[in-house]
Amino acid sequence: MSHPRGPLSQLRRGHEELVLGLLRKHGPLSRGELGKRCGLSRTTLYDILAELVASGAVVTATSQEAPRGRGRPAETLTLNPDAGQAIGIDFARRALHVAAVNLAHEVVGSASEPHDADLPWEQRVELAVRLVGSLTGTGTGALRLGALDAIGVGVVGVVGSQHAGEEDRHAEEGRDQPEPHPAQVLLRERFGVPVLLDNNTRLAALGESIWGAAAGGQDVLYLRLSHGVGGGLVVGGSLHRGAYGLSGEFGHITVEPGGARCDCGGTGCLETVASIRAVLDAYRAAGGRAADVPELVKAVRAGDRAALTLLGGVGARIGEVLAALCNAIGPSVIVIGGELAETGEALVAPIERALRDHVMPVSRHRVSLRRATLGEVAGALGGIALVLHESPLLSRYPAGPDLAEDPIPDKESR
Amino acid sequence: MSHPRGPLSQLRRGHEELVLGLLRKHGPLSRGELGKRCGLSRTTLYDILAELVASGAVVTATSQEAPRGRGRPAETLTLNPDAGQAIGIDFARRALHVAAVNLAHEVVGSASEPHDADLPWEQRVELAVRLVGSLTGTGTGALRLGALDAIGVGVVGVVGSQHAGEEDRHAEEGRDQPEPHPAQVLLRERFGVPVLLDNNTRLAALGESIWGAAAGGQDVLYLRLSHGVGGGLVVGGSLHRGAYGLSGEFGHITVEPGGARCDCGGTGCLETVASIRAVLDAYRAAGGRAADVPELVKAVRAGDRAALTLLGGVGARIGEVLAALCNAIGPSVIVIGGELAETGEALVAPIERALRDHVMPVSRHRVSLRRATLGEVAGALGGIALVLHESPLLSRYPAGPDLAEDPIPDKESR
């Protein structure tokens, strides 16, 4: 199902997804039934069906219940249950995570593997192919990758709108085509399908909003407290990128004017207070001993006073920032992820207190604060969500409850 | 063009808008030409065309260049230039503003009238009808309201997603149908078309992003410094509402922990520092004399030291808040509106300085700070934009540059 991605193919892909959506909802349908329900002309529909069958996304079956005396038995069309629709890959700094869904949008598996931070892209992609193979090569849930729709990829760092989504789109829009990301080039060569790209922390936000702590949330703020402090916004159910792909840089909001120098070039950023290194350094400065987050978690669980006081202060800073963002953006759910969230209530309770204190009173009981639940595969799952969201069915046709009522045109189409 | 608003009519309206979009781009087209370009079945297309002609949105003409010897001269279809597509009405606290566009999306006029703050809704709507009449009743740009698609309305206060958009939609989604806003009920009775509703400050954000200071901006942050301090976000070209319609409450971000009590119930909110009253009070406390904003503007222009120092401090606070929001949301344009923006560079320069100081260095030269340009009709224009954005053509089909390349299906439709 790899097409050129012009406006024409956009419309075509919209039609394809309309047909797939009807088959997803109704199960097997004849060409005639599909024609009645989709409102497309016969020529367009048959053309679309031919391509869907050729790609392996749709399979044909001869109905047993066809009226015998009246010509050929009716052929029905159905989704190929073995066809993979999307793969998500998170190229994190020191590990690789993959996940896959089938055409019914069911997550059929995920896998992770750590690696050195300096592993070259060729080898990272090799590793990705191997991990994807582990999801698809064996077992009953095995996927046929021939019908793969697209791959969603998370990477570290700023991903502007010039990279985000699909690389081919830009030339058509008359913009300068940017250098594609090496992961895009290599994966596209390998799988022959579009490769959608975004920042992996933002993708984790999207993943948590669909399969994780904020499942079903349309307006979600995700904050990751890790080696860096960042996050992502889901707005109306879609990933928010901002004008230059710089959305979600919560870690660089000033919390201490004139404070410590930050890697971004600024001073007093939230990251200088709430990153793993900042917290461990402050803990040591307060006389505590913790080489890493698990040791800090241990100290917290043991009721260590210095650790609790420190996290109380850090949580208050985080909560103030979240309150400001809540007033501006109005999310229904805030998700706290990253390794530092493992410190649990010692951090989350002061965050919540400061959030309630500083958010507009009218919002106080509307926004819900939760810890992330997807762990390290959140980004890979977000990559899959990116693919599903780029699907014209989900983004441009009325989806979900609307489709459930069947877009049958007023009169029969020919 | 008033239909029931179910999923079926959503799809139907998408088809209507597809046809209108083709006529908008190409001018007169025959039924056959339209059929080739739109990819709809003949039955669906003819049905849609019949309704568009009946509503007055589209008119038929007999082409002079039709081949004589070969049957009837070809009838062409074209947009009715007199058909109004949308009206925007801003029910501000003490004034009413209206604006209208035709089917070509050209703003054909606007009008305003002040009134008492306690004017009942019935009389406000009467006033609105009269002002709309002044745009449509006379003159060469007169609109036929028969083809009106919808009315977009701005009101003061929180407008949640339960009110925003169209009132009929909710019952279909199986949610509790909320009490509709009186303006919705009365206008719907009067005009017989859908009435879309949103907060008028948010609508001003949308208006500025389409016709004003941020024209063409897809990611815009609008801050209004008036009796209240608020604003709105445009995200990917669409108005952002947030989960509970609470997006854009920038005035209630804490800037002085433990500071002055705010009307929202919090303390130290930006509004307690940067509203008209707050600024005038602070100016008087500093020994200045200004009964209102025009007098303050006069003092600023005269180089009054106290006024300049005060606005320098207020601007710094505003800039810090905007920097935090920039890092989180990544807009390309920030628009400063409201009466206090009339103080000009005395306020905008310190805002800009604090913004540059506190935004991530990588964003410093990417975001552009501008004063609003639409004045008091921004909200009414935003109401129109709301109608155009709710149009399935603009929101669900590929719009603009995509449509410009003609969505002709691969093969001819019958």
CATH of the domain at A165: 3.30.420.40
- Average pLDDT score over residue span A219-241: 94
Name the residue with higher pLDDT: B73 or B119.
B119
Which domain CATH number covers B25? 1.10.10.10
pLDDT for A411 equals 34
* B243 lies in the same domain as B360: yes
Judged by CB atoms closer than 8 Å, whether chains meet at B407 and A42 is answered as: no
Q: Which domain holds residue B341?
A: 216-373
* A350 lies in the same domain as A235: yes
Residue B404 lies in a domain: no
Residues in chain A: 414
- Average pLDDT score over residue span A25-44: 86
Percent of chain B at pLDDT exceeding 90: 52
Residue A223 lies in a domain: yes
Question: Which of B10, B240, B247, B327 best probes binding to A when mutated, by most A CB atoms within 10 angstroms?
Answer: B327
Residue B354 lies in a domain: yes
Residue A278 lies in a domain: yes
CB B77 within 8 A of CB B30: yes
* B232 lies in the same domain as B331: yes
- Indicate the Cα dihedral angle A127, A132, A136, A141, nearest 10°: 130
**B340-367, pLDDT tens digit by residue?**
999 999 999 999 999 999 999 989 889 9
pLDDT for B23 equals 83
Closest Cα in chain A, distance from residue B182 (Å): 23
* B64 lies in the same domain as B184: no
Closest Cα in chain B, distance from residue A90 (Å): 22
> β-strand B229-235 against B238-239: which pairing, if any?
antiparallel
Q: Domain ends where: A57, A81, A105?
A: A81
- Average pLDDT score over residue span B146-169: 67
Under 8 Å CB pairs connecting chains A and B tally to 254
SS3 at position A61: strand
Structure tokens of B259?
Answer: 């500071």
SS3 at position A258: coil
* B340 lies in the same domain as B226: yes
User: Alpha-carbon distance B159 to A68, whole Å?
Assistant: 60
User: Alpha-carbon distance B42 to A41, whole Å?
Assistant: 8
User: Alpha-carbon distance B382 to B152, whole Å?
Assistant: 8
Closest Cα in chain B, distance from residue A134 (Å): 37
Give the Cα-Cα-Cα angle A292, A293, A298 (nearest 5 degrees).
105
Judged by CB atoms closer than 8 Å, whether chains meet at B409 and A11 is answered as: yes
**A175-186, pLDDT tens digit by residue?**
445 678 999 999
* A71 lies in the same domain as A138: no
Judged by CB atoms closer than 8 Å, whether chains meet at B247 and A328 is answered as: yes
pLDDT for B397 equals 30
* B359 lies in the same domain as B286: yes
- Name which of B147-161, B300-314, B348-362 the model is least confident about: B147-161
CB A75 within 8 A of CB A34: no
Beta strands in A63-213 (DSSP E): 75-79, 84-91, 95-102, 107-114, 150-155, 195-199
CB B139 within 8 A of CB B111: no
Name the residue with higher pLDDT: A399 or B282.
B282
For the cut 90, the answer to whether the pLDDT of residue A350 exceeds it is: yes
* B164 lies in the same domain as B286: no
pLDDT for B409 equals 33
Question: Which of B224, B246, B247, B272 best probes binding to A when mutated, by most A CB atoms within 10 angstroms?
Answer: B246
* A73 lies in the same domain as A124: no
CB B264 within 8 A of CB A361: yes
**B315-341, pLDDT tens digit by residue?**
999 999 999 999 999 999 999 999 999
pLDDT for B192 equals 79
* B344 lies in the same domain as B259: yes
User: Alpha-carbon distance B158 to B200, whole Å?
Assistant: 10
* Confidence grade of residue A63 (pLDDT, cut at 50, 70, 90): low
Dihedral sign (CA B114, B120, B121, B124): negative
B373 DSSP assignment: -
For the cut 50, the answer to whether the pLDDT of residue A22 exceeds it is: yes
Judged by CB atoms closer than 8 Å, whether chains meet at A10 and B403 is answered as: no
For the cut 60, the answer to whether the pLDDT of residue A374 exceeds it is: yes
For the cut 90, the answer to whether the pLDDT of residue A103 exceeds it is: no
Residue A411 lies in a domain: no
Beta strands in A256-408 (DSSP E): 333-337, 368-371
Judged by CB atoms closer than 8 Å, whether chains meet at B330 and A236 is answered as: no
**What backbone torsions phi and psi does residue A50 show, to the nearest 5 degrees?**
-60, -40
pLDDT for B392 equals 44
Residue B156 lies in a domain: yes
Q: In what helix (H) or strand (E) does residue A234 lie, and over which residues does it extend?
A: strand A229-235
Residue B403 lies in a domain: no
pLDDT for A164 equals 54
* A367 lies in the same domain as A292: yes
Judged by CB atoms closer than 8 Å, whether chains meet at A219 and B243 is answered as: yes
Residue B159 lies in a domain: yes
**How many domains does chain A contain in total?**
3
* Confidence grade of residue A205 (pLDDT, cut at 50, 70, 90): very high
Residue B179, CA distances (Å) to A169, A386, B193 in order: 44, 36, 18
Q: Which chain B residues have a beta carbon less than 8 Å from that of A412? A: 43
Q: Which residues contact B305 (CB under 8 A, 6 or more apart)?
A: none
Residue A41 has its nearest CB partner, among B40, B236, B407, at: B40
Burial pattern B144-182, b for ≥16 Cβ within 10 A else e, equals bbebbbbbbbbbbeebbbbbbbbbbbbebeeeeeeebbe
Region label for A242, one of left (φ > 0), alpha (ψ between -120 and 50) or beta (otherwise): left
- Name which of A393-402, B104-113, B212-221, B245-254 the model is least confident about: A393-402
B376 DSSP assignment: G
pLDDT for A28 equals 86
pLDDT for A358 equals 96
Judged by CB atoms closer than 8 Å, whether chains meet at B42 and A43 is answered as: no
Residue A396 has its nearest CB partner, among B240, B363, B396, at: B396
CB neighbour class for A39 (10 Å; exposed up to 12, middle 13-18, buried from 19)? buried
CB B85 within 8 A of CB B55: no
- Name which of A25-39, A384-398, B301-315 the model is least confident about: A384-398
Judged by CB atoms closer than 8 Å, whether chains meet at B43 and A243 is answered as: no
- Name which of A77-86, A105-114, A219-228, B307-316 the model is least confident about: A77-86
pLDDT for A59 equals 86
Closest Cα in chain B, distance from residue A169 (Å): 11
Count of beta carbons in the 10 Å neighbourhood of residue B236: 15
CB A152 within 8 A of CB A88: yes
Structure tokens of A190?
Answer: 């390998």
CB B274 within 8 A of CB B318: yes
- Name which of A24-38, A95-109, A391-405, B175-189 the model is least confident about: A391-405
* Confidence grade of residue A191 (pLDDT, cut at 50, 70, 90): confident
* B68 lies in the same domain as B101: no
pLDDT for B136 equals 66
